[in-house]
Amino acid sequence: MVSLGIRIAGFGGQGVILAGMVIGKAASIHDGRFATLTQSFGPEARGSACSAQLIVSDEPILYPYLTQPDILVVMSQEAHTRFGSDLKPGGMLLYEQDLIHLDNTTQGIRQYGIPATRFAEELGRKLVLNMVMVGFVTALAGLATPQAVRKAIADSVPKGTEKLNLAAFEKGLEFGQSLLSAPNVESGFSQAAFCGGRV
């Protein structure tokens, strides 16, 4: 049985919770797995720290709370400072490389950065950086198949923004896949291992 925990963290207004909801919906509704999502917010709606904790499993999940994630996705420096030490040994750190400075390298942690905000701005809307990160997570972590995530995005984003959000997802997916094709880079949580080889 495979069970993976992921924490997505950033600040209010970055779409952190929606990113977690999309991945969870993709894994559970469209890929037929089990998923739980818990959320944490700061006192202010925008600008304060927030996080989404997601567990995806092939079997029913008995305890929905996450303490040590296998995968940590950080979209702000504060999120990295606050949650970086919680990552499980041998885990994976995915980060917004233009917003986060990694001051030290933890032994055994796989670290992959993406200029998600820059990609979102190139698409014309900074707010879709969360879907860029969802694409990046899909490529590197394999929690859900790309097709399932596309369906979840179309089901979850505001009407009229589907095309933009899907374009952002594809941008992150392609960037992540390009990293995987580089020498000496492997995901460790591959789609073949977790998603039964389906793409």
pLDDT digits (tens, 9 = 90+) for 106-137: 668 999 999 999 999 999 999 999 999 999 99
Q: Given this model, what pLDDT does residue 40 score?
A: 86
Give the pair of three-digit tokens for residue 39. 């959320």
Using DSSP's 3-state secondary structure scheme, residue 8 falls into: strand
Q: What are the CA-CA distances from residue 48 to residues 14, 41, 85, 187 (Å)? A: 10, 7, 20, 31
| Tally of CB atoms within 10 A around 90 | 11
Residue 199 binned pLDDT confidence (cut-offs 50, 70, 90): very low
Q: Assess if residue 63 is contained within a domain.
A: yes
- In the chain, the DSSP E strands lie at 3-11, 34-41, 49-57, 71-74, 92-96, 110-114
Instruction: Answer whether residue 167 is part of any domain.
Output: yes
Q: Tell me, what's the pLDDT at 74?
A: 96
Residue 93 falls within a domain, yes or no? yes
Q: What is the mean pLDDT of the chain?
A: 88
55-93 pLDDT, tens digit per residue, is: 999 999 999 899 899 999 999 999 999 999 999 999 999
CB half-sphere exposure, 107, CA atoms < 13 A:
0
Amino acid 192: pLDDT: 35
Asked whether residue 23 is domain-assigned, the answer is: yes
What is the domain extent for residue 127? Answer: 3-194
In a domain, 22, yes or no: yes
Q: Could you tell me if residue 199 is inside a domain?
A: no
Query: Looking at the 3D structure of the chain, how many domains does it have?
Result: 1
Dihedrals φ, ψ of 170, to 5°?
-60, -35
Confidence at residue 190, expressed as pLDDT on a 0 to 100 scale: 45
Question: Per the domain annotation, does 143 fall within a domain?
Answer: yes
CATH code assigned at 54:
3.40.920.10
C-alpha 142/C-alpha 176 separation (Å) is 11
Percentage with pLDDT > 70 across the chain = 86
The answer to the question of residue 18 being in a domain is: yes
**Model pTM score:** 0.88
Q: What is the mean pLDDT of residues 146-153?
A: 98
